[in-house]
Each structure stands twice: as C-alpha cells, then as structure tokens.
Amino acid sequence: MTPRATRAAAQVKRSLSPAPAAPTPKRTPKRTPVKREPSASPAKVKAEPIVTPRKRKAGSASPLTDIEDEKPTPKSAKSPATLRDRKLNNHTKFSSSSIFPTFLHPTPEECKLAHSILSRLHGERIRPAQVVASKERAGCGDSPSVLDALVRTILSQNTSDANSTRAKLSMDAAYGGSDEWEAIVAGGQPKLEEAIRCGGLSAIKSKVILNILDQAKEKYGSYTLDSLHEASTEDAMAELLALKGVGPKTASCVLLFCLQRDDFAVDTHVQRITGLLGWHPKSSNREQTYAHLNERIPAEDKYGLHILFVLHGKVCAECKAGGRNAGQCELRRAFKGGVGVKEEEGEVKAEEVKGEELQEMEDDKKGIVQDVSIVS
C-alpha cells in the first residue's frame, strides 16, 4: 500500500471510531451547582413529600380521629371501631381489678372512717327498701322504671337539682304525665327540647333521650328496659353502656339507685373530694376514678358514701367547688396529707369551676337547699 493510501485508510478509521467527547457528560454533573445546594439532594427530595407527612399523621392521631377514620390503617384496625366498643372494652378491662393496682387507697378502714365522719356531720343515709319515683323532683335514678331513671339522670347532668327538677316537671306537663314515651317520640325533638329548655343543654339532652327511646324500641319491641332488673350487675352495666349517649357515670347512677346494686357512681363532687382525701392519683379522670374506687370501696359503703360525698361537696365551705382549706373540715383533717390533690389545686377561682358547680354556687347564694337523698 502506498503512503497516500495508508493515510486515507487511517483517516477513515478515525471517522468510524467513537467520538472522544464521551467522558464530557460524566464530568458535567460534577460542575453543576447541585452539590453546592444541600436541599437538592435526591434522597431528601423523595423523603419530604412522601415519608415525613405519613409519619406525622400516624404519630399524632387522636383517639377521636381513630374512631371517625373510615380508612383501615394498621393502627386503627386494632382499635375498637366505635365509642360503644370502647366503653364496653374499658368497663370489661377494669370490672374486676383496679385501674391503678399499685395505688392502695382507700383501704376498707379509710372508707369506714370517712363514712362515719360524714354520717355524723350530715346524718346516715340508708338505701330504701323500695324505689319510688318522685313526682316533686327529678332526682337521679330514683325510679323503678329503668327508662325513667335514665331520663332523670340525663336531665340532672351539668345543672343544679333545682333546674333538673324544673325540666322534669315541665316535660311531664307537656306530655300529660311521666313515662309517656310514645307521646314524647311522636312529638319530635323540637317539642322535647322546648319542654326541657329550663334545665339547660336542652338541644343535646333531647336528642340523647329520643335516641335512647329509639334504641330501646328497636331492641325490645317496646319502650322499656325493665328486663335489666333481672340481669346480673355486670350484664346490666354492659347493656346500659351499649346505649348511645350513656356513659359510665349515668349507667352507674341507674345501677345504684334504680336497680339497687352496689356500685359507686362518681360525679364532680365525688371526684373532687376523694381527690382531696388522696383516694385516687392526681392525674386520674372521672372514669378512671370510678373504675378505681368501685373496686376499692366495700359494697356496704358505696350507697351511703356516694350520697354523703355529694351532699358534703355542696354544703362544706372548704370542700365545695372553689372552697379554700381553712383547717376546719373534720373530714379533711382526718385525711390530712392526701396525695390525690394538692391543697392549692383545690383552691380554684369561680370562673374555673364547671357549669354545674357554678350553678350550685348561685343556688347557695340564693338560699336554695335541695333534697339530696337521691343525687346525680
């Protein structure tokens, strides 16, 4: 091959070879500003919109959100689907043991001491042989009719005895008597709301009452729950808690007064005073206090202690809502050093007291004294 032919062949070979610019794309990303912008990291771009929000949503979900969430997430799938299931599960879990197993107060001796002091101060309270529905006051659970007992208890919530009585008498007048369930249902919610307006929270209470009546009719075929008189205490409590709108306090009142079972209902007065005595942890809410005290207090003391705690909480200047410890209350002196509630925490301002307690304070100022032999 001649030199000219050799040069021509080499030129053709070079034209067919890969271009030497191939390494350039590899060097180009290194010269871009990507590495100088930390927030532009590919890993972080993926994590921010996808991973992080999911973690925040799952970790901060409230119990209410879990109940209302219709999407079956792994967490909510293990939780009760409804409030009814939650109520029943909580009751079953602590129906035979205290919710605070290491909190050893009150002892039976402490219960006897408190019962003795309160009986001396306010008179002994003995369960009546027969339950009679009063035509002069609403009371709380003092009716042989389970439905009537439920309605009376609902009317007594978050108001004074005077207001709940006015609401009950107004309702009876509007429908021609007590236990007129068919007339109440036929009249509808607006009429019932107007009839019990004087008792407060009438919009809510009227809906709850009608809802309970509907549930009773659907399950038993008539407006009655009186079969609970024959049920065991455990079954009766479960049946009451299964009703939408009925919580542990309302169910406990019906058990204690209507069904005459040994149960220890916890209202705002009982919660406050037993805390002052050191009978439950300071952080305990009302439902937890009920679960704890219902196991700790002897059966024979439950009826009398409940009534006397409520009465004492209304009339004792040191133990009532907003009262200050002056060292004169015999009950508080007997249990000095209680760890349930610090003294300064019991000295609250009037505006911090719940609505029902404020109403009771107003009644006291007006000189209104209610019969509390049957109480909420």
Helical H segments across the chain, by residue range = 3-16, 24-31, 42-46, 52-59, 63-68, 74-78, 83-93, 108-122, 146-156, 161-175, 181-195, 202-220, 233-241, 248-253, 268-276, 286-296, 299-315, 330-334, 343-346, 355-365
CA distance 318 to 335: 14
Q: What is the DSSP letter of 99?
A: S
Non-local CB neighbours of 223 within 8 Å, separated by 6+ positions:
147, 181, 182, 185, 213, 216, 217
Burial of 300 (0-12, 13-18, 19+ CB in 10 A): middle
Q: Quick count: other Cβ atoms within 10 Å of Cβ 339?
A: 14
Contact 154, 253 (CB under 8 A): no
CA distance 336 to 343: 10
Q: What is the DSSP letter of 19?
A: P
Contact 226, 214 (CB under 8 A): no
Catalytic residue (one of 87, 249, 302, 314): 249
Contact 240, 251 (CB under 8 A): yes
Contact 132, 142 (CB under 8 A): yes
Q: End-to-end alpha-carbon separation of the chain, Å?
A: 119
Q: Quick count: other Cβ atoms within 10 Å of Cβ 271?
A: 24
Three-state DSSP class for residue 284:
coil
Phi-psi region of 140 (alpha: psi -120 to 50; beta: other; left: phi over 0): beta
Burial of 251 (0-12, 13-18, 19+ CB in 10 A): buried
249: annotated active-site residue: yes
CA distance 337 to 322: 19
Catalytic residues: 249
